[in-house]
Structure formats: structure tokens, C-alpha cells
Amino acid sequence: MGSAVGSIFTGPFSETFGRNAVYIGTLLLFMVWIMASALSPNIGAQLTFRFFAGIFGCAPLTCAGGTMADLWTGFEKTYAFAIFFAIPAFGGATLGPVIGSYIGTGSLPSWRWTEWITLIMAGLVTILVTLFLPETHPDTLLSWKAKSVRRSTGNNMYRSQREVNPQSFWIRVKTSLTRPWRLAFEPIVLSMTVYLTIIWAVLFTFLDGYTSIFRMTYGISQGMTSIMFIAMYVGIVVAAPMVAVIYTWTLKDTAHQKDTSRPRPETRLWSAMWGGSWAIPVSLFWLAWTDFVSVEVREITGI
């Protein structure tokens, strides 16, 4: 719920203040709430702190699409979005439980270490982003360039597009916050939003479903249960070659266009048509039909 609330603001703010201001600012506040969660005295306090951590921790997922759009053309995003964002992002969601499953049971006996390790990793990422990630938002970069040229030449005639048609700060914020809601009711945007909602719901239900099936039903240990999540990452890796196929299709599709940097929007649907449309229901039925309480599963703990 915190991530859902935060995404309403982080995406639009990145279009107003620039990408890095949002990335760094939200990461710093995310670490504050993760630290509060680690020190929480009871479950109520932890849930509250985790909610606020979700608000500020959603920025990398919410704003990454904008950053990708800054860096790559429409044609290049055919492979860049999948390789540099989608596969690593889903890999984190599936491999994270493998790491977290052994916290609280082994040499790190306290559940609080799940928060401390998250805090340490967030700190490292914040340092890397601050030192090495350049700003990519075009309007912000042009404003910076115009100020630099005015400063070096003394000529105040140099202006960026944003400065040529100036808007007050609050008008810019209002425009950024309301634009997603206006787009949300466009039929194609609404359809894709519903589709992605189902995809994410299935993914994160699996994260809980594995625990219900393998630990609660079959009695496998917490650590070995989370090893099962590796199967999801195997599926992601197996599907990766599909990027090359769709890239080839897109290349052929745009060969007859004047502007080859902007593929037809319909080409973006090939991944869903040839992957998610049939693979997800097949996998759900596969899991359901092979899950029986009467089946005994034995965990091999040694050789």
C-alpha cells in the first residue's frame, strides 16, 4: 500500500524536479523509515514504518521508465528496457526471498536483521547513485545548460524551453500530478494498467503461495522453501532470448517507416501476446494440479 501511494507522487515529481532529486531524496527518507522499522517495539509500529518505507522506496520502480525513456529511443527500448531494467528488477523480487529466508534462523537470529541488511544495501545504492548516476531528465538538463551559458557569456538571451514559457512552481506540480490521472482513463492505458495489475498480483501471490505450499503443507524448512524462488529467475532467464526475437520483429516492422526510431505502439504488445497471455494461466494450472497434501516431500539435509 505504501508503494501504491508513493508512486502517485514520485513519478510526476521526477518530471518536475528531475530524476536524481527524486532518487536521492526518496532513498534517504527510505533509509530513515527502514531504520525505524528495525527498531520498532511491536508489530503495529513496524507496519506503520514499513508503510512509509514503501512510500519512499517505490521511486526506483516508478521512475525507472522515465529514465529509460531519457536514455534510449523508442526503437532501442525494445531491448534496453528488458535487459537493463525488467530482467534485473524481476530478478531482485525473486532472489530477495532466497537471501532473506536464512535471516532469523542461522547466524543472524533476529528478524531485525532483515531491516538492517536492507538499510545497508540501500545506503550503498544511495552512495553509488549520488556519485555516479548523471541527471537524464531533458528539461532539467536544458535548464542547467542555459544557466551555464548565461553565466559564461553574460548574455541573458539564452533560455531553455521551460524558461521561454515559464510556469509557476505550483502550476508545474499540479500539471505533473494530474497528468497520470488524465491518462489513466484512456482505453489503451487503462487496459494495460489492468493487465499489469494482474501480472504483479500473480507474481507477489506466488511469493506468498510458495510459503503456503512448501512450508505449511509439506513441512519443508524456511530456507529450503525460499530456494524454490530460484525457479522464477530460471524462467526469466529462459525467456530472455525472446528479447532478440522481438527486436528482430520490430526491426522489420519499422523498416518501412520514415522514422525508424519510433516503432508502432502495437509492436510493444508482442511480449504479452507470445509470453504472458498463455504462459501465466498455464503455470497457474500447472502449480494447482501438482499440489496435493497427500504427496510427501522429503527435504535432504545432507549426503
Backbone angles phi, psi at 52, to 5 degrees: -70, -35
What is the C-alpha separation between 113 and 208, in angstroms, rounded? 20
Q: Is residue 297 part of a domain?
A: no
pLDDT at 45 over 70: yes
Q: Is residue 16 part of a domain?
A: yes
pLDDT at 301 over 80: no
Query: pLDDT of 47-104, one tens digit each?
Result: 999 999 999 999 988 888 889 889 988 788 888 888 888 888 878 877 887 777 777 6
Q: Tell me the whole-structure pTM to 2 decimals.
A: 0.79
Q: Is residue 58 part of a domain?
A: yes
Q: Is residue 146 part of a domain?
A: no
Would the CA dihedral through 133, 138, 139, 145 be positive or negative? positive
Would the CA dihedral through 5, 11, 14, 17 be positive or negative? negative
Q: Is residue 295 part of a domain?
A: no
Q: Is residue 296 part of a domain?
A: no
Q: Domain count of the chain?
A: 1
Query: pLDDT of 199-247, one tens digit each?
Result: 888 877 877 777 788 877 787 877 777 788 888 888 888 888 888 888 8
pLDDT for position 303: 43
pLDDT at 256 over 80: no
pLDDT for position 261: 66
Domain extent, residue 242, equals 2-136+185-289
What is the C-alpha separation between 185 and 157, in angstroms, rounded? 41
Q: Is residue 156 part of a domain?
A: no
pLDDT for position 204: 76
Q: Is residue 251 part of a domain?
A: yes
Q: Average pLDDT for residues 21-25, to the nearest whole number?
A: 93
* Those residues with Cβ within 8 angstroms of residue 268's Cβ, 6 or more apart along the chain or in another chain: none
If you average pLDDT over every residue of the chain, what do you get? Answer: 83
What is the residue-wise DSSP string for 260-301?
A: TTS--GGGGGHHIIIIIHHHHHHHHHHHHHT--TTS------
